[in-house]
Amino acid sequence: MKKVYTCFCTDILHEGHLNIIHEAKKYGDVYVGVLTDEAMVRFDRFPTVDFETRMALIRGIEGVKEVCVQDEILYDKVVQRLHPDYIIHGDNWRTGPMKAVRDNAEKLLAAYGGKIIDVPYTYSENVKRADAQLREKLSMPEYRRKRLKQLLSLRPIVKTIEVHSGLTGLIAEKTVVENNGEFDQFDAMWVSSLCDSTAKGKPDIELVDMTSRFRTIDDVMEVTTKPIIFDGDTGGLTEHFVYTVRSLERMGVSAVIIEDKTGLKKNSLFGTEVEQTQDSIEHFCEKIRAGKKVQLTDNFMIIARIESLILDRGMEDALTRARAYVQAGADGIMIHSRKKDPAEILAFCDTFRKENTHTPLVVVPSSFNSITEAELAAHGVNIVIYANQLTRSAFPAMEQTAKDILKYHRAQEVDARLMPIKQIISLIEEL
Ligand code: SPV
Ligand code: MG
């Protein structure tokens, strides 16, 4: 019998999958691959049920000879192990980012005379509804909240991008790039105090109040499913912070990061150029403890941000604080620096990791931006936050357009660099 292979990246079975199996049986024995969690996450389909359940789902299909584990989007390993005569797939992989995967599979098969079979993709109402329901499920608070902790165990480094509106949320949610068959996308979103304030034309001094910050979270949540890390500034008064924790947790936010400053907070990138006061270790630990005490699930994280390097208090102070904050119950440590050279950040991470192997480390490489994600991961960093790049790219583009319209007294000159109207009106999906 010939071997026919297909791979499913799904939590549920619908008529489209069953149709592929039905077609596959016509060509020989059917082998079905199930993508691992790691591969699925990378590919843009965060699992809502665990791997074992997905394997069992496929085992339950009549006429499947073997269920296999596929741990990469590309088919290299499968082809090497199984030598299928055919790989069968919905024809939707002939275009878009999946085309690279198809091309790769075609090349692998061609080496020994194997063939691809493209089955017309099932575009039925049922399939559409099933897909939409899966995505909707991921946006629910109980799924979204725990997703950051899940990602911390699935990803070498959790890639996080700043969002401050529904539109930036959509960019974080939907941007996927394909590079030589590898897929990349952001894992999580950062609701930055700097960019949330900037979008409102306000300074980053805890002036934009929590009600407004929560409104931003809500706008983002309405159109996304990815987990949210909230920039909680100083956390405010401890008596207020406990309420913030409760609200964020209830909304489905995964983590809040609070920084060890007190009084009028200014943005860290000002460093010592402005008056900023670091909180005492005792007082900040009290705030962390109070927050941890009121949270209701195990999934919410309170991450302590250390400003010692920003305020030139030295490495020893930063490390002492990290130890104390972890002791007080912090679920992670964010270490910040405004130096161009990542040396002090890496020195902190190396020393911290030697004595603490498990507490997640977070960094925000806005100034030390030459460092790559792989280098950070090699020094024990678990979450990287690109904290302001979307805002900083949009502002000059908008300003230039405004200037040019004023200059030419019409909009024709700017049109070539704008998103076509057709595209912008179809950017937002309608229910
Ligand atoms: C923010 O994005 O608001 C931050 C990071 O707090 S930084 O601006 O670098 O302080
Ligand atoms: Mg901030």
User: 72-100 pLDDT, tens per residue?
Assistant: 999 999 999 999 999 999 999 999 888 99
Distance between CA 298 and CA 172 in Å, rounded?
26
Distance between CA 154 and CA 152 in Å, rounded?
6
Both structure tokens of 298: 């195990």
Cβ pair 7, 33 in contact under 8 A: yes
d(CA 348, ligand 2 centre) in Å: 21
pTM of the complete model: 0.94
In short, whether 388's Cβ falls inside 6 Å of ligand 1 is yes
Residue type (1 letter), 284: F
Q: Residue 223 burial by CB count (10 A; 0-12/13-18/19+): exposed, middle or buried? A: middle
d(CA 84, ligand 2 centre) in Å: 53
d(CA 273, ligand 2 centre) in Å: 17
H or E element: which one contains 146?
Answer: helix 141-154
Catalytic residue, from 11, 85, 196, 204: name it: 204
Q: Which of 163, 193, 389 has most ligand 1 atoms within 8 Å of CB, for mutation?
A: 193
In short, whether 233's Cβ falls inside 6 Å of ligand 1 is no
pLDDT lower than 50: segments of the chain: none
In the prediction, which pLDDT does 97 show?
82
d(CA 169, ligand 2 centre) in Å: 18
CA dihedral 160, 164, 165, 168 (to 10 degrees): -40
In the prediction, which pLDDT does 271 show?
84
In the prediction, which pLDDT does 427 show?
75
Continuous H helices in 155-254: 166-174, 193-199, 210-222, 238-251
Distance between CA 149 and CA 302 in Å, rounded?
12
In short, whether 295's Cβ falls inside 6 Å of ligand 1 is no
H or E element: which one contains 86?
Answer: strand 86-90
Cβ pair 173, 135 in contact under 8 A: no
Strands 3-8 and 86-90: parallel
In the prediction, which pLDDT does 45 show?
82
In short, whether 193's Cβ falls inside 6 Å of ligand 1 is yes
SS (H, E, C) 368-425: CCCCCHHHHHHCCCCEEEECCHHHHHHHHHHHHHHHHHHHHCCCHHHHHHCCCHHHHH
In short, whether 414's Cβ falls inside 6 Å of ligand 1 is no
Which ligand does the CA of 189 lie closest to? 1
In the prediction, which pLDDT does 191 show?
98
Q: How far is CA 240 from CA 94, 136, 228, in A?
A: 54, 32, 21
Distance between CA 94 and CA 398 in Å, rounded?
36
| 208 secondary structure, DSSP code | S
In the prediction, which pLDDT does 182 show?
80
Q: Is 204 a catalytic residue?
A: yes
